[in-house]
Structure 1
Amino acid sequence: MQITVIGCGYVGLVTAACFAEMGNRVACVDTSAERVEALHRGISPIFEPGIEALLQTNHAAGRLTFSSQLNPVLRNSEVVFIAVGTPSAADGSADVSQILEVAAQLGGALESPTIVVCKSTAPVGTACRVQSILDQHCQRRGVNWRHSVVSNPEFLKEGAAIDDFMRPDRIILGAEDASAERTMRRLYEPFVRNHDRILCMPRRAAEMTKYAANTFLATKISFINEVANLCESLGVDVEEVRKGIGADPRIGHHFIYAGCGYGGSCFPKDIRAMLHMAQEREMQLPILQAVEARNQAQKTWPMRMLRKLYSEGVAGKTVAIWGLAFKPGTDDIRDAPSRVLIEGLLDLGARVQAFDPIASENIAKAYPEAVARGQLRLFSDPYAVLNDADALALITEWKQFRQPDFALMARLMREPVIVDGRNQYDPAVLGTFGFRHVGVGRVPMDSPAPLLRKVV
C-alpha cells in the first residue's frame, strides 16, 4: 500500500517505520528540512530503542522515503496519516492548529478520494473538523467525490513503542464509512494475524477512547501515591499494600507503583485536555482534577524529603540525582519529576550532580545558566555524581540502577542517604551498608522494626 505520513516526530516516525517494515511504501513529510536531511543520513531525531535500525533498513530498501515537500509525495497515496503535534495551550486545551493546517493543505493538494487518518491525539470532534475542511475544499474545486477521515489514535509507550506498534493490544478505528474501514483493516492485518484486536467505532468515540485510556492510567498512579501518603503517616509499608491489592485481577499490578509522580508528553497533556473539554461544556471532573493535583504534589516529594532530612536547610549541600528522563527508555524530560527537584535545589542554593544514560543533554539545554556557573553538573558515569554527595535522589528507575555497588556508593558519598523516588531498593539491604533510606510510603529504617517472618 502507498502511504504518506505527515510529521516526523515520535508518533509519525514509529508509524512510518513499522508500516514500511511490513512491506508498504511510505513517504514521511516534515516541515523541518534539517530533520529530513538527518533522516536521509540515517539519524533519528528521537530516541527510541530500535527506531534507527528500522529507519535505515527500510530507507535502504526503498520502502521508506523522507521529504520536506508535501505535494509531490501525495501522488498515488491511498492513505495519509496526520501525525503532527498537539501541544497544551495556555488554558490547558490541546492546540490542534497544526492538524487543521495540514487538513487545509491536503484539501488543496489531493487529486483523488483519499483516506485521511488522524493519528495525533486530539480532542473529541477534531476528525469531524478535518472532514469539514476537506469537504469545503472539494466543494470549492467542484469535484464530485469525498475524502474519508478516520480517527486512529496511537497507544505507544515511549521506550517500547516499536513493540507496541508491532504487537498491539488493540487497534482503534473511528470510521464513518465501510470502504475506509475495510482499507484500514487490511493495512493493520499483518500486525494482528494471531488475534483480531481491531475495534471499530464512530470517530468521536475513538478520540474519547484515547483520552479515557491515558487518564485512567494516570488515575491509578495518583491513587497509589495518595495511598502511599497515608501509609507514611500510619507507619505502613505501601509496598506490602501494593502487592496485596495487585493480586486482585480486577486491579492488577500495572501502574500501581508508588513514586514521585508521572511526567512526559501524554498523561499531563491529556488530563489537562480532558479537563478543558469538560470546562467548555460547563462540567466538572473532580476525579481528574484530584489526579492532576496529586501528581503535582507528588513531584515535590523528593524535595520535601530532603528538606525534612536537613532541617538546617539544603543550601550548600551537594545532592546527586540518578535519572532525569520522565521514565526509563527515553530522553524525554517534558514534565519530568527530575525538573521539579532540580529547580527546587537550585533555588535553595544547593549543588546538583546528575546522571542519566540518555537525557543529560536535554537537561543541559533546559538549564544552561546553572550549568555555566557550575551549580548543575552533568556526568557520564553514575558513580562520579556521588563524590562528596550529601544525598542521592533516585528519580528515574533505569535498569542499571537496580543492583548498584552499594559499598562503593557508601565510600564515595559524604553522607550515605538515599531518597528513593521509585521504591527501587530494599531498606533492610541498604541498612547493611550503612545507608539511610527514605522511600515513598515506606516505613523509615529508624521506625520500630516489624516482626520477622519465619522462613520455612
Structure 2
Amino acid sequence: MVKITVIGTGYVGLVAGLGFSDFGNDVVSLDTDQEKIDKLVNGQAPIYEPGIEELLSRNLKAKRIIFTTDKKYAIEHGNIIFICVGTPQTNEGDVNLDYVYQVAHDIGSYINQYKIIVNKSTVPVGTAREIGRIIKNTIEEREALIKFDIASNPEFLREGKAINDFFNPDRIVLGTDNAQSLIELNKIYRVFARSNKPIIKTSIETAEMIKYATNSFLATKITFINEMANLCEKVGANVLEVASAMGKDGRISPKFLHPGPGYGGSCFPKDTKALVNIAKKHGAKLSILESVILANEFQKKLASQKIIKRFPTGGTIALLGLAFKPDTDDVRESPALEIIRTLASTGLFQLNVYDPQAMIQCKNALAPSSSEFIKWCSSAFEACRQADAVAIITEWFEFRNMDLEELKILLNSPVIFDFRNIFRKDDLESLGYEYYGVGI
C-alpha cells in the first residue's frame, strides 16, 4: 500500500484517484471546489463517465479514498503527489498553466518530508522542471530543508472509456531522472506486470512530449480520413471501403479512420494548437499540424454547409447528439456547437436538439443569441417530430437503434444527414430516405 495524494478531481484526477485506491492504496483526493467535494463524499460523481459511480461507491465503502479541500492535510498525506489539474487553452492558443503553478506553490507551502511530485496534467515541455523550481523556491522561503523529486506520468484516458483505459492501458510512461522516483512509481504500477503492459521509462522532457505527439498524430489521422471522405464525395468513391482497406495495412491500423464532422473535445483541439505554439517559440515549424488545425475547422463548417445547400430557404432540423463523442457529456469544441451556431446565424432554421447527457452543458456553452432558434427536446423522437430533416452529429447507440420506419412517419420529409455514417446508405435509400453521409 502506498500513500497517494491526487490534486484535482476532473476526468483525469478523479479516475486516477479512484483507480489508485482500487489498487489498494491509501488515497486522498484534493480539490478547491467545495460543492464538487461534497458530492464526491456522498457518492455522487461530478462528471458523466460510464462506471465512475460504481468505482466511487466501492472505494468509499472500503475507505480507501478521502475527498477534501484541506490543502495542508492532503499534501502532508501522500508520499507520492499527482498533479491532475486543468490546463485550459488561452485565446492565443497557448496553455494556461496558472492552476499547475498554483498547485506547485501549495505543495511548497505544505510539504513536510521527502515526496515525489508527479505531473499528470498535459503541459508543454519544461513545465515539470518549472514546477520543481517553484516548489524549491517556496520551501526556501519557509527556511526549510525538505527534499523532493519531480516526475512526469502523462495520462492517455479517452472520455467515455476512461475507466477501461486506466485499468487496461496500452502503455505507461514514466518520465524521471531519479532512480528512487522510478522505484516508487513502479510500486504503484506493478499491478500491470502480469498483463505485460509496457512501462516506458524515459526523461521528464520526453514524457511531456510523448503526450502532445500522441494526441497530435491521432488528430492528424482523423483529419486525413475526413479529407479523403470529402474527395470521395467528389469522385464517386466510398470512403468506408477506402478506410477499411487502409486499416488492414499493419502499418496504419483501422483505429481513428472514421470520417465525421471534425474532432472536438478537451484534448485534440487544445493539444494540437498548443504544440504548434510550442514549436513556434522554439523556432520550429509544424506545417502538417498547422494544416490539420485549419482542415478540422473547415470540416466542422462543411457539415452545416451541407444542410444549408439542401435547405437554402431554411426549415426545421432535428440535431441528434451534442457531446463531442458518445458516452460523455463534454461539449468542448464539439462539432455540434459549430453546426448550431452556423444554422442559427442564418435566421432560417428551427433547431430541435437532443443529447442523452449533454443538454445542460450545451445550453451553457451556446450564446443566448442562438436560443430563440433552439428547441430543447427530451428524446430523439420528440426532436424529429415534424422536422424537415434529421442530422446525426454524435454516434450514441440509441440513435443507431432508432426505428427507421417510425422515424420516417414523424418527419415532414425523410431526409437524413448522417455525419457519423452510422447507417448504411443502401438500407436507408431502400426505405425511401434521402441520405447524406460523409464520403459515401
- TM-score range relative to shorter protein: over 0.9
Is residue 138–residue 146 contact of structure 1 (8 Å, CA) maintained in 2? Answer: no
Counterpart secondary structure, 1:91: coil
Is residue 265–residue 334 contact of structure 1 (8 Å, CA) maintained in 2? Answer: yes
* Distance change (3 Å), C-alpha of 1:157 and 1:378: same
Counterpart secondary structure, 2:417: strand
Is residue 27–residue 65 contact of structure 2 (8 Å, CA) maintained in 1? Answer: yes
Is residue 3–residue 27 contact of structure 2 (8 Å, CA) maintained in 1? Answer: yes
Quote the residue 2:338 is aligned against. Answer: 340
Shift of 1:301: 2.1
* Distance change (3 Å), C-alpha of 1:22 and 1:228: same
Is residue 76–residue 110 contact of structure 2 (8 Å, CA) maintained in 1? Answer: no
Quote the residue 2:162 is aligned against. Answer: 161
Shift of 1:363: 1.4
Is residue 118–residue 153 contact of structure 2 (8 Å, CA) maintained in 1? Answer: yes
| CA–CA separation in structure 1 for the residues paired with 2:327 and 2:109 | 40
Quote the residue 1:362 is aligned against. Answer: 361
| CA–CA separation in structure 2 for the residues paired with 1:26 and 1:429 | 52
Quote the residue 2:282 is aligned against. Answer: 281
Mapping of residues 288-437 of structure 1, within 5 Å:
288-310=289-311, 312-314=312-314, 317-349=315-347, 350-367=349-366, 369=368, 373=372, 375-437=373-435
TM-score (norm 2): 0.97
| Letter matched to residue 322 of structure 2 | L
Shift of 1:143: 4.2
**1:334-360 per-position Cα deviation (integer Å, ceiling 9, x unaligned):** 000000111111111211111111111
Quote the residue 1:448 is aligned against. Answer: none
**1:364-401 per-position Cα deviation (integer Å, ceiling 9, x unaligned):** 2234746864x211222211111111111110011112
| CA–CA separation in structure 2 for the residues paired with 1:393 and 1:26 | 45
* Distance change (3 Å), C-alpha of 1:394 and 1:79: same
Using the TM superposition, name which of 76-85 and 112-121 deviates more. 76-85
| Letter matched to residue 34 of structure 2 | A
| CA–CA separation in structure 1 for the residues paired with 2:97 and 2:365 | 25
Counterpart secondary structure, 1:75: helix
| CA–CA separation in structure 2 for the residues paired with 1:408 and 1:196 | 47
| CA–CA separation in structure 1 for the residues paired with 2:31 and 2:284 | 38
Is residue 86–residue 95 contact of structure 1 (8 Å, CA) maintained in 2? Answer: yes
Counterpart secondary structure, 1:157: coil
Fraction of identical pairs, as percent? 40
Quote the residue 1:105 is aligned against. Answer: 106
| CA–CA separation in structure 1 for the residues paired with 2:197 and 2:264 | 32
| CA–CA separation in structure 1 for the residues paired with 2:59 and 2:245 | 46
Mapping of residues 71-220 of structure 1, within 5 Å:
71-220=72-221
Quote the residue 1:451 is aligned against. Answer: none
Counterpart secondary structure, 2:380: coil
| Letter matched to residue 326 of structure 1 | F
Shift of 1:307: 1.6
| Letter matched to residue 440 of structure 1 | V
Is residue 24–residue 64 contact of structure 2 (8 Å, CA) maintained in 1? Answer: yes
**1:121-155 per-position Cα deviation (integer Å, ceiling 9, x unaligned):** 00000001011112223444444442111100000
| CA–CA separation in structure 1 for the residues paired with 2:294 and 2:367 | 29
Where does structure 1 differ by over 6 angstroms across 4 or more consecutive aligned residues?
none
Using the TM superposition, name which of 128-137 and 390-399 deviates more. 128-137
Using the TM superposition, name which of 213-222 and 93-102 deviates more. 93-102
| CA–CA separation in structure 2 for the residues paired with 1:192 and 1:303 | 48
* Distance change (3 Å), C-alpha of 1:285 and 1:86: same
| Letter matched to residue 381 of structure 2 | Y
| Letter matched to residue 200 of structure 1 | K
Quote the residue 1:32 is aligned against. Answer: 33
**1:213-234 per-position Cα deviation (integer Å, ceiling 9, x unaligned):** 0000000000011111111111
Counterpart secondary structure, 2:205: helix
Gapped regions of structure 2 (runs ≥ 5): none
Shift of 1:96: 0.9
**1:293-324 per-position Cα deviation (integer Å, ceiling 9, x unaligned):** 111011112211112212x332xx10001111
* Distance change (3 Å), C-alpha of 1:280 and 1:432: same
Quote the residue 2:256 is aligned against. Answer: 255
Is residue 370–residue 376 contact of structure 1 (8 Å, CA) maintained in 2? Answer: no
| CA–CA separation in structure 1 for the residues paired with 2:77 and 2:272 | 38
| CA–CA separation in structure 2 for the residues paired with 1:260 and 1:399 | 18
| CA–CA separation in structure 2 for the residues paired with 1:176 and 1:146 | 15
| CA–CA separation in structure 1 for the residues paired with 2:77 and 2:10 | 23
| CA–CA separation in structure 2 for the residues paired with 1:290 and 1:141 | 48
| Letter matched to residue 282 of structure 1 | G
RMSD (Å) for aligned C-alpha atoms: 1.4
Is residue 322–residue 354 contact of structure 2 (8 Å, CA) maintained in 1? Answer: yes
**1:94-127 per-position Cα deviation (integer Å, ceiling 9, x unaligned):** 1111111110111121011100010100000000
TM-score (norm 1): 0.94
Mapping of residues 47-66 of structure 1, within 5 Å:
47-66=48-67
**1:225-251 per-position Cα deviation (integer Å, ceiling 9, x unaligned):** 111111111111111111111111111
Quote the residue 1:452 is aligned against. Answer: none
Aligned length in residues: 438
Is residue 117–residue 148 contact of structure 2 (8 Å, CA) maintained in 1? Answer: yes
| CA–CA separation in structure 2 for the residues paired with 1:368 and 1:210 | 32
Is residue 364–residue 371 contact of structure 1 (8 Å, CA) maintained in 2? Answer: no
| CA–CA separation in structure 2 for the residues paired with 1:228 and 1:366 | 29
Is residue 154–residue 173 contact of structure 2 (8 Å, CA) maintained in 1? Answer: yes
Shift of 1:435: 0.4
Counterpart secondary structure, 1:84: coil
